[in-house]
A and B are shown apart, each in its own frame.
Chain A
Amino acid sequence: MDSFRDKLIPVTTILAGVVVLWYVFAVILNAPFQRDMDSRANATPGTMEFVGKTLSQPKPTMPAPHQVAVNFFENTFLRPINSNRSLVYNAWVTLSSTLLGFAFGTALGIVIAVGIVHVATLDRSLMPWIIASQTIPILAVAPMIIVVLAAVGITGLVPKAMISTYLSFFPVTVGMVKGLRSPEIMHLDLMHTYNASRAQTFWKLRVPASVPFLFTSMKVAVAASLVGAIVGELPTGAVAGIGAKLLAGAYYSQSIDIWSALVAGSIVAALLVMVVGVAGRLVDRAMGGRPA
């Protein structure tokens, strides 16, 4: 009951406030265009009628929440799933490259982290570059990767997944290096007194100790991976995917479409992070972790 009072009420209150503010802003932002339309049509609507009209424009500057909701519902549940306009289809396109890139990125990140922890040369020479690379706007490379790979004949899933891989392996590497180094000296000494080999220390001490770090960084990585997939869809000329929906919406000023694509992307992101979180908790419990 405590969590209900501590979290749910404030969160819903603030969300409700956001929705109300959204409506207010929708009216304010759409009003100039509506006034323009009315004066051209020589219409003199009353205040309520005017507000109603601002909230039901076909291409509003700021779509009202219910317009987005209706559009989202139509494009999600009413269209056949294999239709080009279905949000489920577009979300699936983005999701598939996100997942592929995320899987590669996580694997690559873990491998590099293991290398860094075990080879002193790599630690001193590669680690500074990995940290420095986080300060670089990597996403700027995305269009080039797509176009260059398309020039070689590689199109479709792989180039987008490569961008996702690129974005998601940094957090995993950094988190895993931290995690694999997290065992205390005491524990390492204990393994030493057991005459454990390097491999045994690795599998029986370092890997279990690193699991919480892995899942924390995987949450960051999966979100980054989705962003990579969405941005990776921008230069392909709007074929399919959430990024393509955004771009097409921007080209044709279909603001409602942009917003509902955004909602779809957010839902996918929230689901992905949630799945990783749940997987983390399950693994934790399977390994014998007790809730603190």
Chain B
Amino acid sequence: MNWLKPSWQGVLAIALCVVAVVLGAMSKPEAAALADTAASAAYPYHATKLLMMGLVVVAALVSMIRIAPLIEAGVLFVGAHLTAWLLISGIGGFEGTALAPYYLLLAAAWLLGWRCVAVLSDIRPAHKGSRTALRLVIPAIFGAWILIIWEAVTRGAGIPFILLPPPSAIGARFANSLPILGADVRQTILKAVLFGYIVGSGAGFITAILADRVPFLRRGLLPIGNMVSALPIIGVAPIMVMWFGFDWQSKAAVVIIMTFFPMLVNTVAGLAASGHMERDLMRTYASGYWPTLVKLRLPAAAPFIFNALKINSTLALIGAIVAEFFGTPVVGMGFRISTEVGRMNIDMVWAEIAVAALAGSVFYGVVALVERAVTFWHPSVRGG
């Protein structure tokens, strides 16, 4: 039995397939056709039912043979995703008619996907490039399965469109309304967020340097800054809308206020991060306040400052979007979300959320890349 290594995922997947066979019909039309053999009604999975089950069983069995993990993962990957694809494409035209075996097969395919991820996460490649690739592939498969299950369940169970549209519909809506989404991004991100982010972070930074110069100010500002970070600052949005009008300036003001305090607190903490030894060294060089600041303390504070910039990148987006709930011109991401929710165009809302997620990730990614370039000396970047 040395060539066999059973996994609970594989065994369970086969068991689910067996139960699915025993239960029979995968959808209501098929059940009707089975009950009345004389009528020739069209039903899903006419030809592919056995193929899908065969795929699952074969992939599960192959995966339990002792073979190279990479081949095992490949077999599982193909088996799981081909089954899922057949399941999802087969239900087209018969949405909402799925019976228990449909979900059992989906679960079986998902178990294979899980097994695939488990096999992949046990691989410890020696090569650095393949390690990076693996670090990307594993979460990607996980994310893909969230989408697959979402798509399969919404279509199989026929969940009403207003409740939860399937990802494919959201994708279609996304592709169809690129001009609108682009205009929203321009209004919210390129105007309000960027301006507010730069001004807010800059003001926080300058205040922090000032507070560093004047210890009295620092002792007074730090507790206040720490406390303010716990407050629901987002609540100033209606006030800012009242002051600066409906256009992007009011949103930028909210963003400025939201990004100011994290920057202040983190920069002040960062300026205290340089060690006594280094500061003493600068003193022996007879270096004044400003040269010490520029050459020693600011570089030492860079990780803290970038941490604040990362926190702020998310806060800025949230601030601008939520501020738009309080009134905007007829463009903007927050405006689109709140009005399309009112009109029950939930797929448009999801498309807008996808844009927001994308923008947030890109924003964060850019800050992280700049950080890597600037703090190349830091152990966490060097891989110490």
Question: Which residues of A are in contact with B by a Cβ distance under 8 Å?
Answer: 6-7, 10-11, 13-15, 29, 61-62, 120-121, 123-126, 128-129, 132, 134-141, 143-144, 147-148, 151-152, 219, 223, 226-227, 230-231, 234-235, 242-243, 246-247, 249-250, 253, 255, 258-259, 261-262, 265-266, 269-270, 273
Q: Pick the contact of A135 from B114, B122, B236, B361 — CB < 8 Å?
A: B361
A63 to chain B, nearest CB (A): 10
- In the docked arrangement, what's the CA distance between A62 and B244, Å? 12
A136 touches B357 (CB 8 A): yes
B141 touches A125 (CB 8 A): yes
B139 touches A124 (CB 8 A): yes
Given contacts A140-B356, A262-B236, are A235 and B162 in contact (CB under 8 A)? no
Q: Pick the contact of A10 from B219, B326, B346 — CB < 8 Å?
A: B219
Given contacts A135-B360, A148-B163, A250-B238, are A143 and B353 in contact (CB under 8 A)? no
> Is B125 part of the binding interface, using a Cβ–Cβ cutoff of 8 Å?
no
- In the docked arrangement, what's the CA distance between A214 and B9, Å? 33
A120 touches B317 (CB 8 A): no
Residues 314 to 331 of chain B near chain A (Cβ within 8 Å): 314, 317-318, 321-322, 325-327
A125 touches B139 (CB 8 A): yes
Interface string of B160-182 (1 = CB under 8 A from A): 00111000000000000000000
Interface residues on B, range: 35 or more
B239 touches A151 (CB 8 A): no
- In the docked arrangement, what's the CA distance between A227 and B318, Å? 11
> Is B242 part of the binding interface, using a Cβ–Cβ cutoff of 8 Å?
yes
B235 touches A246 (CB 8 A): yes
Please name all residues of chain A whose beta carbon is closer than 8 Å to the beta carbon of B236 when the two chains form the complex.
262
- In the docked arrangement, what's the CA distance between A143 and B340, Å? 10
Please name all residues of chain B whose beta carbon is closer than 8 Å to the beta carbon of A140 when the two chains form the complex.
318, 321-322, 333-334, 337, 352-353, 356
- In the docked arrangement, what's the CA distance between A246 and B229, Å? 20
- In the docked arrangement, what's the CA distance between A128 and B135, Å? 9
Interface string of B350-368 (1 = CB under 8 A from A): 1011001100110111000
A253 touches B242 (CB 8 A): yes
> Which B residue's beta carbon lies closest to that of A268?
B232
Please name all residues of chain B whose beta carbon is closer than 8 Å to the beta carbon of A227 when the two chains form the complex.
232, 234
A249 touches B356 (CB 8 A): no
Add 5 more A-B contacts to A124-B117, A124-B120, A138-B318 (CB < 8 A).
A120-B122, A121-B118, A139-B318, A144-B341, A148-B164
Main secondary structure on A side of the interface with B: helix
B141 to chain A, nearest CB (A): 7
Name which of B220-228, B267-275, B291-299 contacts chain A.
B220-228
A129 touches B221 (CB 8 A): no
Please name all residues of chain A whose beta carbon is closer than 8 Å to the beta carbon of B223 when the two chains form the complex.
7, 11
- In the docked arrangement, what's the CA distance between A255 and B243, Å? 10
Q: Pick the contact of B326 from A6, A129, A247, A273 — CB < 8 Å?
A: A247
Given contacts A250-B326, A269-B232, are A14 and B224 in contact (CB under 8 A)? yes
B142 touches A139 (CB 8 A): no
Please name all residues of chain A whose beta carbon is closer than 8 Å to the beta carbon of B139 when the two chains form the complex.
124-126, 128-129
Interface string of B191-221 (1 = CB under 8 A from A): 0000000000000000000000000111111
B322 touches A139 (CB 8 A): yes
Main secondary structure on B side of the interface with A: helix
> Which A residue's beta carbon lies closest to that of B218?
A10
Please name all residues of chain B whose beta carbon is closer than 8 Å to the beta carbon of A6 when the two chains form the complex.
219
Please name all residues of chain B whose beta carbon is closer than 8 Å to the beta carbon of A250 when the two chains form the complex.
238, 241-242, 326-327
Please name all residues of chain B whose beta carbon is closer than 8 Å to the beta carbon of A29 when the two chains form the complex.
243
- In the docked arrangement, what's the CA distance between A242 and B231, Å? 13
- In the docked arrangement, what's the CA distance between A128 and B321, Å? 25
> Is B277 part of the binding interface, using a Cβ–Cβ cutoff of 8 Å?
no
Q: Pick the contact of A129 from B142, B239, B344, B353 — CB < 8 Å?
A: B142
A-B contacts, 20 of them at CB < 8 A, read A14-B220, A15-B224, A135-B313, A135-B361, A135-B363, A135-B365, A136-B314, A136-B356, A136-B360, A136-B361, A140-B333, A143-B337, A144-B341, A147-B342, A250-B238, A258-B242, A262-B232, A262-B236, A269-B232, A270-B227
> Which A residue's beta carbon lies closest to that of B164?
A148
The 10 closest A-B pairs by CB, nearest first: A10-B220, A250-B238, A125-B142, A14-B220, A135-B364, A128-B139, A137-B317, A10-B219, A124-B121, A223-B230
- In the docked arrangement, what's the CA distance between A28 and B312, Å? 31
> Which A residue's beta carbon lies closest to that of B357?
A136
Q: Pick the contact of A235 from B142, B232, B338 — CB < 8 Å?
A: B338
- In the docked arrangement, what's the CA distance between A135 and B366, Å? 12
- In the docked arrangement, what's the CA distance between A250 and B250, Å? 13
Please name all residues of chain A whose beta carbon is closer than 8 Å to the beta carbon of B326 when the two chains form the complex.
234, 247, 250
Please name all residues of chain A whose beta carbon is closer than 8 Å to the beta carbon of B114 when the two chains form the complex.
121
Please name all residues of chain A whose beta carbon is closer than 8 Å to the beta carbon of B227 when the two chains form the complex.
270
- In the docked arrangement, what's the CA distance between A269 and B229, Å? 10
Please name all residues of chain A whose beta carbon is closer than 8 Å to the beta carbon of B338 when the two chains form the complex.
143, 235
A258 touches B239 (CB 8 A): yes
Please name all residues of chain A whose beta carbon is closer than 8 Å to the beta carbon of B243 when the two chains form the complex.
29, 61-62
Please name all residues of chain B whose beta carbon is closer than 8 Å to the beta carbon of A138 when the two chains form the complex.
318
- In the docked arrangement, what's the CA distance between A46 and B239, Å? 30
B206 to chain A, nearest CB (A): 17
B359 to chain A, nearest CB (A): 8
Please name all residues of chain B whose beta carbon is closer than 8 Å to the beta carbon of A124 when the two chains form the complex.
117, 120-121, 135, 138-139
Please name all residues of chain B whose beta carbon is closer than 8 Å to the beta carbon of A134 when the two chains form the complex.
314
A31 to chain B, nearest CB (A): 14
Q: Pick the contact of B230 from A10, A132, A270 — CB < 8 Å?
A: A270
> Which B residue's beta carbon lies closest to that of A18?
B224
